[in-house]
């Protein structure tokens, strides 16, 4: 049997509960700190197994109740934040929850923020993470979707996020999207201006853009390209525009161009179609790092759509 003893007659000294005549099993010191397995508790409750075995604190419940530990900053009531962790018996998951009205109304089910189910699947914002057969999953569930954020320091935020209809990849302002295989070997990137570059940072670049015009208007678009540095570069230019003014009137350009600095020459124009109503395409280099595509204004009202596509060595 255990017995309660005090170390001496001084009432301010430690009180112990002995399981035999020579060792103390539980100590309550003069600062009201409780030690189990130690007579020098370093916190309000200090457990020390005292050997090389596991130290276990077991919270057991029955009849469908939850087992939990709560952490709160005050008594129960509005504005009292309470965090809890434990077994959500309703969903059979390990749950971490938060409640801002204190511990009396805390529930690992309704207040859950993070769970791990019995298969190792993780859910944030859901108590039932979904996974495909044979796969472990991280499920993110919010009122407008789930989001992963990647950040270096206080800037450079990048996101992968979802909505009910789309999965979005978002780079920080001025950032790029890079795709690597076989380790850190870059195969493709989309830079901050929208250029698609294949084969690494010095690979083949492609730029796409859509055209929507209303009325008798012209169109000019400048594309940032590398300075050849005294060498030359080749551009494959594809431009198309269809204008409707009682009938269809088209202007199309498909050709190869060689450039160096601000000089550019048409080397193999396979198609150069233009009409009075739709206008005509031209290609120029106003600076050594700018390729300019221009569609002149047509003479007809109405409007139309088209696109440009340019390919070059990055």
The secondary structure of 244-309 as a DSSP string is: ESSSEEEEEEEEEEEEETTEEEEEEEEEEE-BTTTB-EEEEEEETTEEEEEE---S--SEEEEEEE
Whole-angstrom distance, CA of residue 249 vs CA of residue 3:
103
What is the distance, to the nearest Å, from the Cα of residue 103 to the centroid of all Cα atoms in its chain? 33
Full-model pTM: 0.66
The torsion angles phi and psi of 280, rounded to 5 degrees, stand at -140, 155
Residues 185-215: pLDDT tens digits?
888 888 888 888 888 777 899 999 998 988 7
Q: Are 228 and 251 in contact (CB under 8 A)?
A: no
Residues 57-69: pLDDT tens digits?
999 988 788 999 9
DSSP state of 32: -
Q: Give the residues across from 181 on adjacent strands.
A: 185
Instruction: For the chain, give every domain's residue range.
Output: 3-47, 67-140, 204-313
Residue 232 or 78, more confident: 232
Whole-angstrom distance, CA of residue 42 vs CA of residue 243:
82
Domain 204-313 has CATH 3.40.1350: no
Q: Are 281 and 294 in contact (CB under 8 A)?
A: yes
pLDDT over 90 at 107, yes or no: yes
Average predicted confidence (pLDDT) for the chain: 87
Query: What is the reported pLDDT for 246?
Result: 86
Query: What is the reported pLDDT for 3?
Result: 45
pLDDT over 60 at 221, yes or no: yes
pLDDT over 50 at 308, yes or no: yes
pLDDT over 80 at 156, yes or no: no
Sheet holding 67-72, edge to edge: 67-72, 82-88, 93-99, 112-116, 122-124, 138-140
Q: Are 306 and 294 in contact (CB under 8 A)?
A: no
Residue 155 or 191, more confident: 191
pLDDT over 60 at 19, yes or no: no
Query: What is the reported pLDDT for 17?
Result: 59
**Residue in the block written with tokens 């508790």:** 41
122-124/138-140 β-pairing: parallel
pLDDT over 90 at 296, yes or no: yes
In three-state secondary structure terms, 158 is strand
Residues 38-59: pLDDT tens digits?
889 999 999 998 877 899 999 9
Residue 299 or 292, more confident: 292
Query: What is the reported pLDDT for 252?
Result: 95
Residues 240-269: pLDDT tens digits?
999 988 889 999 999 999 999 999 999 999
Q: Tell me the average pLDDT across 168-184.
A: 89
């Amino acid at each position: 049997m255990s017995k309660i003893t005090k170390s001496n007659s001084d009432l301010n000294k430690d009180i112990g509960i002995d399981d035999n005549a020579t060792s103390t099993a539980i100590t309550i010191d003069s600062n009201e700190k409780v030690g189990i397995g130690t007579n020098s508790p370093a916190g309000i409750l200090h457990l020390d197994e005292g050997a090389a075995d596991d130290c276990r604190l077991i919270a057991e419940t029955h009849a469908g109740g939850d087992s939990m530990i709560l952490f709160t900053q005050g008594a129960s009531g509005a504005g009292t934040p309470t965090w809890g962790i434990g077994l959500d018996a309703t969903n059979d998951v390990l749950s971490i929850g938060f409640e801002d009205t204190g511990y009396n109304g805390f529930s690992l089910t309704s207040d859950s923020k993070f769970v791990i189910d019995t298969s190792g699947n993780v859910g944030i914002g859901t108590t039932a993470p979904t996974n495909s057969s044979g796969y472990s999953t991280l499920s993110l569930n919010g009122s407008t979707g789930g989001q992963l954020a990647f950040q270096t320091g206080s800037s450079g935020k990048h996101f992968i996020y979802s909505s009910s209809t789309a999965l979005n990849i978002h780079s920080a302002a001025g950032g790029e999207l890079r795709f690597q295989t076989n380790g850190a070997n870059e195969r493709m990137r989309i830079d901050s201006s929208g250029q698609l570059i294949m084969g690494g940072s010095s690979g083949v670049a492609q730029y796409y853009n859509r055209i929507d015009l209303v009325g008798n208007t012209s169109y000019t678009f400048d594309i940032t390209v590398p300075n050849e540095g005294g060498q030359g570069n080749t551009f494959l230019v594809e431009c198309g525009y269809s204008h409707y003014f009682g009938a269809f009137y088209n202007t199309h350009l498909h050709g190869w161009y060689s450039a160096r600095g601000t000089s550019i020459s048409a080397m193999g124009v396979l198609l150069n179609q233009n009409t009075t109503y739709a206008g005509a395409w031209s290609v120029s280099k106003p600076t050594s790092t700018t390729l300019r595509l221009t569609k002149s204004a047509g003479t007809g009202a109405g409007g139309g759509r088209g696109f440009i596509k340019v390919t070059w060595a990055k």
